[in-house]
A and B are shown apart, each in its own frame.
Chain A
Amino acid sequence: MAPTDVNFGRASRTALKDQQLRANFRRAMDGLMSKRAVQFADPKEWHAMRALGASVRVRALSKLPELLEQLEANCTRNGITVHWASTTDEANAIVLKIMQDVNAKLAVKGKSMVSEEMHLNAFLEKHGIESLEADLGEYIVQLDHEMPSHIIMPAIHKNTKQIAHLFREKIKEAEYTEDVAQLTDLARRVLRKKFMNADVGISGVNAAVAETGTLCLVENEGNGRMVTTVPSVHIAVMGLEKVVEKLEDVPPVLSLLTRSATAQPITTYVNMITSPRKEGEKDGPREIHLVILDNGRSKIYADEELRHTLRCIRCGACMNHCPVYTRVGGHAFEAPYPGPIGSILVPQMEGLGKRGELPHACTMCNACVEICPVKIPIVEIMGRLRQEAVHPGDAVKDAGACASMAEALIWKGWAVMNSSPTTYRFATTIAAKLGNAAPASLPLLKEWTSVRSKPRFAGRTLHDLAREKGIPDA
C-alpha cells in the first residue's frame, strides 16, 4: 500500500480541483486555528509553556541513548517486553511474531502514526490477521480504504453526508442517517463487540517516561483504553524519539499537545500504563510489548540542525495553520505525515530522491514556526533540505538526487550577475528595456501568467532614478 510513484505536483493539482475537499478543509482548519488561539490567549503563558516544552524535548534528545536504555530497563523490570526495530519491515515482523505466538486472528487498534509508517494493517492482512481501527476517524478512513489525511483528525476531509453514505454502504446493520449522534452510536455498537473479542490490542505512545518505564496515551473516545486494557496482549509501537526523561515532563508536554491539537485543556482520558496485569489484578493485558522503531530517525539525529525535527510531539498544529495544507489537504502528500512536519520528516525518512519536492511545498510563510509548541525551526530545516536535495552529501538520504545541471548553472549565473555592480547594471538595463516583450509562454512566465498578468518592468530602475535625483552613493 506504500505509494511507489508519489508526485506532490500531480496529487496537489488533483486535490485543488475538488471543491468539496477544499471547502471541508478550509472550514476545518479555520475552526481548529480559532479554537487553539482561545487556548493560548495569554501570550505570557504561551511563551513560558513553549519554552518549557522545547526544553523538555531538547533535554530528552540530548540524552536520547541513555533515556532509551533507562526506559527499556524500567519497562522490563515492570514486566513490559521491549523490542527494537531498525526498519519498518523489522517492526512488522516483530508484531507478527507476537501475534502468531498467541494465534491472534483479530487485532483492534488505537490511533498510531507509527503504525501508518509501518503500513501495519496491510501487512497483517496479508498474513491473515484482521487489524481493525477503533478510533472513529481511523475507522472511517479504513472503511473507505484510504490513508488518514491529518495526523489528529484522520477523516477531516470527509463531511457528514459522505460518512453517512459510507456507513450505510459498508456496515451491515446500518440504516442511512446523517444524525451524528446516531452515526456515533452505530460505531460504538460495532466496535464494542470487537473490543470484547479481539486477541490483541495495538496502540501508539504519546510519551514514554524513562524514569518510571511508563507509557502515556491521550484520547477522547475511550478506544485507546479499550485496546490497551481488554485484549490479553497489548502491543505499543513508538518512534524512538518519543521518550521523555522524567514523569514531571509529561504534564507540560500533554498540555501543549492537547491544546495545540484539538484545543482542549486535556483529553477525556490520559492513560498511563506501567505494567501488564499483576498477580491478583482482575483486568488488563497479560502481556505488554513495546516496539521501539528507528526507520531513519537515528540518521536524522546525526545532524546537528536536522535532529530538531525529532522534537515533534505530533500535535498537528503546523498543518492546521499551513496555507498550503489548507488548500490541498493531507492526501496530496501521499504520506503518513502531511503538512509542514511531513515535508521535513518524510524526505528524511524516505529520501530526497523520492520526496525531494516536499520541502518545496511551502511558501516559507512561517505560520507553522509561530505556533509550534516545541519551537521546531521548521522553515530553517525546510531550507536546509532544499539545499541537500540539489547538492551531493551524506547528511540526508539520497542527498543530491534532485541536482540539475541546468538549475545549478542558472544560479551560478545569477550569482555572477548580482555580485558585481557592472554585470548587475548591464543585466537590469536590458531587463528594464526588453523584459516586457518577453512572451508569456516562456518557462516560469508561463506558470506565472496562468492566473496573473505579466509583471511590468519599469522603464528605468531605482538605480537610474536615484542617480538622476542625485542621491549620494556613499
Chain B
Amino acid sequence: MQTKGPDNVYFFGTCLVDLFYPQAGMAGMELLKREGIRVVFPQGQSCCGQPAYNSGYRDEALKVARAQVALFTEDWPIVVPSGSCSGMIKTHYPDLFKGEPDEAQAVAVAGRTYELTQFLVHILNVKLEDKGEPVRITWHASCHAQREMGVLDEPKALLRQLANVELVELKREKECCGFGGTFAVRHPEISAAMVEDKVADIEGTGAKAVVSGDCGCLMNINGALDAGRKPVKGKHIAEFLMERIHGSH
C-alpha cells in the first residue's frame, strides 16, 4: 500500500448520487482534493450498469458499462462513493466483459477501482480533525461494501477519528436494509419489513444520525425514517465527514 497518494484520481459519482445526493459526491471529491490530489470528474459518466445486470439484462448492462470504461483512459485510480457501484465495477466487470474486445481495459479499470473510505484509509491515510458539536451516530454497513469490496472497519476507523462523535453500533449492523435495487419495488412488503427492522435498530441506539457509504441504502432508510416521522436523519459518510471537519453541524 502506498502511503503517499497518487497525483490524479478519477471520481465516479454513481447515478444515485448524481440524482439524489449530489452533495455527497461533492463532499467525496472535496475529501480527496484536500489531500492534494487532482480529482477528475469525467462529465460523460452515467451509471455502472448494475440495475440492468441484476435484473438479468446483461447486454444492456454491458452497453452502459463499456461507455464508462471508455472514459477512464489514464492509469489513475477510480474512486467511488458507493460499495455497490464500486463492487459492480471491481467484482463484476471482469465477468461481464469476458470475451469482449475491451475485456482487457475493463479488467484494468476494475483493478483500479476503490470504494471511497477504502481509498481514504488505505491509500491516503487521511487524518481528520473534528470541529463539530458532540453528537451520537450509528453506522449502517452496506452489504456490497462489506461483502464485495471487503470494506469492514474503514468507515468506522474514519468516524472514530472524530473526537466529538460517539459511534454506537447497531445490533444488526451487517443485516441488509432491504433495498436490493429492484427488490424494493418487486417485493415491497418484504423490503418494508426489512427496513422497518433497520429503523427500529437505529432508533434503539439513540443516535441522531445514521451514516452509510451507500446511497441506495440511504434512500431506503431515509425514506422509511421520513415516512415514520422519525427525528433521525441518514447521511452519506462523505457529507458527514466534511460537515464535521468544517464544524458545520
Contacts and interface: CB of A to CB of B under 8 A. Distances in A.
Contact of B46 (A323, A421, A450, A455): A421
B196 interface: yes
A268 B198 CA distance: 38
Nearest to B20: A455
Main secondary structure of the interface of A (DSSP, over half): helix
Interface string A359-392: 0111111110110000000001001011111110
A462 B17 contact: yes
Main secondary structure of the interface of B (DSSP, over half): helix
A451 interface: yes
B190 interface: yes
B63 interface: yes
Interface string B61-99: 101101100000100000000000000000000010000
Contacts of A460: 22
Interface in B18-57: 18-23, 25-26, 29, 38-47, 49, 51-57
B184 interface: yes
B185 A444 contact: yes
B209 interface: no
A463 B22 CA distance: 8
A9 B189 CA distance: 9
Contacts of B226: 452-453
B190 A328 contact: yes
B179 interface: yes
Interface in B128-182: 143-144, 147-148, 174-176, 178-182
A456 B22 CA distance: 11
Contact of B40 (A22, A388, A471): A471
* Tier of interface size on chain B: 35 or more
A40 to B, nearest CB: 15
Contact of B57 (A12, A390, A419, A424): A390
A367 B147 contact: yes
- Most chain B beta-carbon neighbours within 10 Å: one of A328, A411, A457: A411
A383 B188 contact: no
Given A16-B189, A383-B54, A424-B46, A465 B22 contact: yes
A473 B61 CA distance: 24
B42 A367 contact: no
14 contacts: A324-B187, A324-B190, A365-B180, A411-B55, A418-B49, A419-B63, A447-B185, A452-B195, A455-B20, A455-B223, A462-B17, A463-B43, A472-B41, A474-B73
> Which 8 pairs across A and B sit closest by C-beta, in order of nearness?
A363-B180, A452-B223, A386-B56, A387-B56, A365-B143, A415-B60, A365-B176, A366-B147
Interface of A: 9, 12-13, 16, 22, 323-324, 327-328, 360-367, 369-370, 380, 383, 385-391, 408, 411-412, 414-415, 417-421, 424, 428, 431-432, 435, 444, 447-458, 460-467, 469, 471-474
Interface of B: 11, 13, 15, 17-23, 25-26, 29, 38-47, 49, 51-61, 63-64, 66-67, 73, 95, 143-144, 147-148, 174-176, 178-196, 219-220, 222-224, 226-227
